[in-house]
């Protein structure tokens, strides 16, 4: 499903229709976006390799005090829905990738956050047996012609890397997430501003053969200019 123009187009409604029909939705605002959707990504859109794909992340309380998923508010499932094969989820196409960013508060942090009274009879697991595991990722999916899901589990070890030394893809994804938080004036944006996002995106542009990252940088510059003129 494709959206064009700015008349009576309702992005949220188009996305919901695509979700209910197990399809995909994209908004086309220029020729470059049309090439991206209809040429570069067409193979992944047409060829489904897995359906009802669900992801679940469990952080080790030995290292993480609390965490927050950035974005994906309209994609969240209840914890018990992860193992329920009757619950509909997203489709995964050939070559598709998904990036999810979490903001975490380490156990050593003195940062204040909303808590509830401690439980008397149930205590959180210390997870000492996990060694250096920071979190576990579980992926549940169904083959396109099957109604029974399969499970893949991956444990990720604890490792810290300064942001400036992170991969180009990670730093660029972080700039995109921060830009979204600024546009929504989210209370979680922290000290992020257009100048910081622009510098981060430019430094992480990397090999941009398709020009998508350059387009994002132009969007940041336009947003910054519009803000200054208002």
Examine the domain organization and report whether 57 and 104 are in the same domain: yes
Record the pTM: 0.75
Q: How high is the pLDDT of residue 3?
A: 80
- Whether 76 is covered by a domain: the verdict is yes
Q: By residue range, what is the domain housing residue 186?
A: 164-230
Q: Cα–Cα distance between 135 and 56 in angstroms, integer? A: 10
Instruction: Label residues 150-166 b or e (16+ Cβ within 10 Å = b).
Output: eeeeeeeeeeeeeeeee
Q: Cα–Cα distance between 198 and 183 in angstroms, integer? A: 14
DSSP 62: T
Radius of gyration of the CA atoms of the chain, in A: 20
Give how many domains the chain has, as a whole number: 3
Which residues fall within 8 angstroms of residue 105, CB to CB, at 6 or more apart?
64, 65, 66, 67, 111, 113
Examine the domain organization and report whether 90 and 27 are in the same domain: no
Examine the domain organization and report whether 155 and 168 are in the same domain: no
Examine the domain organization and report whether 145 and 205 are in the same domain: no
- Whether 117 is covered by a domain: the verdict is no
- Whether 105 is covered by a domain: the verdict is yes
Examine the domain organization and report whether 138 and 168 are in the same domain: no
Task: Dig out the tokens for 14 from the structure.
Answer: 């188009």
- Whether 104 is covered by a domain: the verdict is yes
Examine the domain organization and report whether 140 and 190 are in the same domain: no
pLDDT tens across the length of the chain (230 residues): 788 877 677 777 877 777 777 677 788 888 888 888 888 777 666 678 888 899 999 999 889 988 989 988 778 888 889 999 988 888 888 777 888 899 988 888 877 665 556 656 655 555 555 568 899 999 999 998 899 999 999 999 988 889 999 999 999 999 999 999 999 999 888 899 999 999 999 999 999 888 889 999 999 999 999 888 77
Examine the domain organization and report whether 60 and 145 are in the same domain: yes
Q: How high is the pLDDT of residue 168?
A: 94
| SS3 of 89-148 | CEEEECCCCCCCCEEEEECCCCCCCCCCCCCCCCCCCCCHHHCCEEEEEEEEEECCCCCC
Examine the domain organization and report whether 58 and 151 are in the same domain: yes
Examine the domain organization and report whether 93 and 137 are in the same domain: yes
């Amino acid at each position: 499903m494709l959206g064009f123009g700015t008349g009576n187009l309702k992005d949220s409604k188009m996305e919901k229709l695509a979700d209910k029909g197990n399809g995909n939705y994209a908004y086309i605002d220029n020729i470059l976006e049309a090439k991206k959707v209809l040429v570069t990504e067409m193979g992944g859109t047409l060829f489904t390799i897995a359906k009802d794909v669900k992801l679940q992340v469990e952080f080790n309380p030995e290292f993480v005090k609390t965490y927050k998923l950035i974005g994906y508010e309209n994609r969240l499932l209840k914890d018990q829905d992860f193992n329920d094969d009757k619950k509909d989820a997203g489709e995964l196409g050939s070559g598709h990738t998904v990036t999810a960013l979490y903001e975490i508060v380490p156990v050593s942090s003195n940062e204040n956050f909303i808590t509830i009274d401690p439980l008397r009879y149930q205590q959180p697991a210390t997870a000492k047996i996990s060694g250096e595991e920071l979190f576990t990722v579980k992926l549940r999916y169904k083959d396109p012609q099957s109604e029974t899901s399969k499970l893949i589990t991956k444990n990720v070890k604890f490792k810290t890397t300064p942001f400036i030394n992170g991969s180009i893809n990670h730093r660029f994804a972080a700039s995109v997430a921060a830009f979204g938080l600024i546009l929504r004036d989210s209370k979680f944006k922290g000290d992020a501003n257009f100048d910081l996002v622009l510098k981060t995106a430019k430094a992480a542009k990397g090999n941009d053969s398709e020009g998508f990252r350059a387009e994002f940088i132009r969007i940041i510059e336009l947003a910054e200019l519009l803000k200054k003129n208002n």
